[in-house]
């Protein structure tokens, strides 16, 4: 396995996000929104329409991809209303069998399957790696990897904002 540090993809992700914001300022997105709304009014309620920019990375060996960013418009059939959305994913750093892996928090750092809400002793339902055994969280700032706004440290492993506890088996302090 290679060391996977996708954090640099974030630069591209931010670039796309900025372009989307620029289009919004120019009224271009509102134009598309208007067209979607008008069409929804003519369609049966069961149809919804989505327009988006996506950024994802695909691994041909694993045959899995990880989504990094999704920005766009969602139009709902039952109300003919549209909503702008912007989804990007926070990255976590892990140590996986001696390798540093830096990927969005909702994926397994070993096999890339979806694996969210990781806590000590939870396992990936696909490849079976367990947090605290084959996989550990790498923490090199005092930011809580669970809520992002709380603070943790080796002396105070209990996050001051959420119920995350950076137990010794779970984390490696950088
Ligand atoms: Zn896995
Ligand atoms: Zn927290």
What share of the chain in percent tops pLDDT 90?
61
Both tokens of 157, joined, read 């492993």
For residue 149, report the distance from its CA to the centre of ligand 2, in Å.
6
The C-alpha torsion from 132 through 113 and 51 to 148, rounded to 10°, is 0
Name every residue whose Cβ is closer than 8 Å to that of residue 71 and which is 6 or more positions away in sequence.
Answer: 16, 17, 20, 52, 53, 84, 85, 86, 87
Q: pLDDT at residue 101 above 70?
A: yes
Task: Say if CB 68 and CB 53 are below 8 A apart.
Answer: no
**What's the whole-number average pLDDT of the chain?**
90
Q: pLDDT at residue 59 above 70?
A: yes
Nearest ligand, CA 135: 1
Q: What is the pTM of this model?
A: 0.79
pLDDT of residue 1: 46
Nearest ligand, CA 108: 1
Average pLDDT value for residue range 104-120: 86
């Amino acid at each position: 396995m290679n060391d996977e540090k996708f954090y640099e993809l974030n630069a591209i992700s931010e670039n796309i996000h900025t372009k989307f914001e620029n289009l919004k300022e120019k009224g271009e997105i509102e134009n598309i929104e208007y067209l979607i709304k008008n069409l929804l009014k003519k369609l049966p309620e069961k149809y919804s329409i989505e327009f988006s920019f996506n950024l994802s990375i695909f691994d041909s060996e694993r045959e899995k991809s990880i989504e990094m960013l999704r920005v766009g418009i969602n139009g709902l059939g039952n109300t003919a209303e549209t909503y702008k959305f912007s989804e990007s994913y926070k990255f976590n750093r892990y140590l996986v069998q001696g390798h540093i892996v830096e990927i969005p928090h909702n994926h397994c750092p070993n096999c890339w399957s979806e694996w969210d809400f990781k806590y000590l002793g939870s396992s990936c339902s696909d490849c079976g790696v367990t947090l605290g055994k084959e996989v550990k969280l790498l923490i090199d700032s005092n930011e809580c990897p669970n809520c992002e706004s709380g603070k943790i440290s080796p002396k105070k492993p209990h996050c001051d904002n959420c119920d995350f506890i950076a137990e010794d088996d779970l984390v490696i302090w950088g």
